[in-house]
């Protein structure tokens, strides 16, 4: 009985963590997309350029740069564009 309760709690906790991760990822994508639009790019085109340029940066950091350091974000965009 006690083990079943612990398993249910664990599974519920996993669902909560997964839901939080999904919403965080969605927020990062929205922020990156908004900043990319200012550079005349869509989110998908920007991410494709970044990948092709070999720039290894995750969504969380890229979204943070887009919000708090637009100059650095713009530098990454320019580097990705020039690597074409």
> Domain of 25: which CATH number?
1.10.1900.20
Domains in the chain: how many in total? 1
| Chain segment 63-76, per-residue pLDDT in tens | 999 999 999 999 99
Q: Which domain holds residue 12?
A: 2-82
Q: What is the pLDDT of residue 46?
A: 97
The rounded distance, in Å, linking the Cα atoms of 16 and 66 is: 27
Question: Which of 79, 76, 81, 75 has the alpha carbon at shortest distance from 59?
Answer: 76
| Chain segment 18-62, per-residue pLDDT in tens | 889 999 999 999 999 999 999 999 999 999 999 999 999 999 999
Which has the higher per-residue pLDDT, 5 or 47?
47
Sign of CA dihedral 16, 21, 27, 30: negative
Model-level pTM? Answer: 0.83
């Amino acid at each position: 009985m006690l083990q079943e309760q612990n398993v249910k709690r664990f599974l519920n906790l996993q669902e909560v963590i997964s839901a939080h991760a999904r919403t965080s990822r969605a927020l990062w994508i929205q922020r990156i997309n908004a900043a990319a639009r200012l550079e005349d790019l869509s989110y998908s085109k920007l991410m494709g350029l970044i990948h092709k340029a070999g720039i290894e940066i995750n969504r969380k950091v890229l979204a943070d740069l887009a919000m708090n350091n637009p100059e650095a974000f713009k530098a990454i965009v320019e580097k990705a564009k020039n690597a074409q």
